[in-house]
């Protein structure tokens, strides 16, 4: 029995103790931070997908594009975890075919004919677009010290309205 205890006086267990300390001080916070950021990324994707769902509803025709309630319902249905806490802001506008990234003409101020009159050049006319912005505050169920407790996330989707 004494022969077995002779080997225990060395430094053979030090590495295990050091590993346990390093894991407790660095590994666990890194693991918690990774889990927390995973929840944030997932929620961010949900909110972006909600913006896309709202824009897909609105781009079907001009009637749907003008229906803020329908767009909001479609977006909130895509992100049920957030429900009515998901803020949905739809906007419709016209742009000229020759400068899609140029001047935007609000559908509340211009008719399509008025916007087309602003588009100069041969074959240049107004196209209607819908933009849906979504935002929500996400609170991950896991919290790592040093990271925020809540995150404000947003999504944007822009699509041409089918005529």
Is the separation of the CB atoms in 57 and 28 below 8 Å? no
pLDDT average per 10 residues of sequence, the chain (163 residues):
57 81 83 89 96 98 95 96 95 90 88 88 89 96 85 96 88
Candidates 106, 74, 72, 73; CA nearest to 89 is: 72
In this predicted structure, what is the pLDDT of residue 5? Answer: 56
Cβ 137 vs Cβ 85: under 8 Å: yes
pLDDT of residue 1: 56
Q: What is the pLDDT of residue 158?
A: 97
Nearest in space to 79 (alpha carbons), one of 158, 162, 157: 157
By three-state DSSP, how is residue 25 classified? helix
Question: Which pLDDT belongs to residue 14?
Answer: 84
Exposure class string for 6-33: b at 16+ Cβ within 10 A, else e = eeeeeeeeeeeeeeeeeeeeeeeeeebb
Place of tokens 């916007």: 115
Q: So where are the chain's domains? A: 14-160
Q: What pLDDT sits at residue 38? A: 92
Q: Count other Cβ atoms within 10 Å, centred on residue 157.
A: 22
């Amino acid at each position: 029995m004494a022969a077995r205890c002779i080997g225990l006086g060395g430094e053979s267990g030090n590495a295990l103790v050091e590993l346990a300390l390093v894991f407790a001080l660095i590994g666990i916070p890194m693991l918690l931070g990774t889990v927390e950021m995973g929840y944030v990324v997932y929620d961010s994707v949900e909110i972006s997908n909600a913006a896309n769902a709202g824009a897909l509803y609105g781009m079907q025709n001009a009637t749907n594009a003008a229906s803020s309630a329908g767009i909001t319902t479609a977006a909130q249905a895509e992100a049920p975890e957030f429900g009515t806490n998901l803020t949905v802001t739809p906007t419709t506008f016209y742009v000229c075919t020759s400068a899609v990234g140029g001047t935007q003409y609000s559908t509340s101020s211009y008719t399509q004919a008025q916007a087309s009159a602003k588009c100069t050049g041969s074959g240049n006319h107004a196209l209607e677009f819908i933009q849906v912005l979504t935002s929500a505050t996400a609170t991950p169920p896991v919290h790592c010290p040093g990271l925020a407790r809540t995150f404000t996330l947003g999504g944007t989707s822009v699509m041409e309205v089918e005529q």
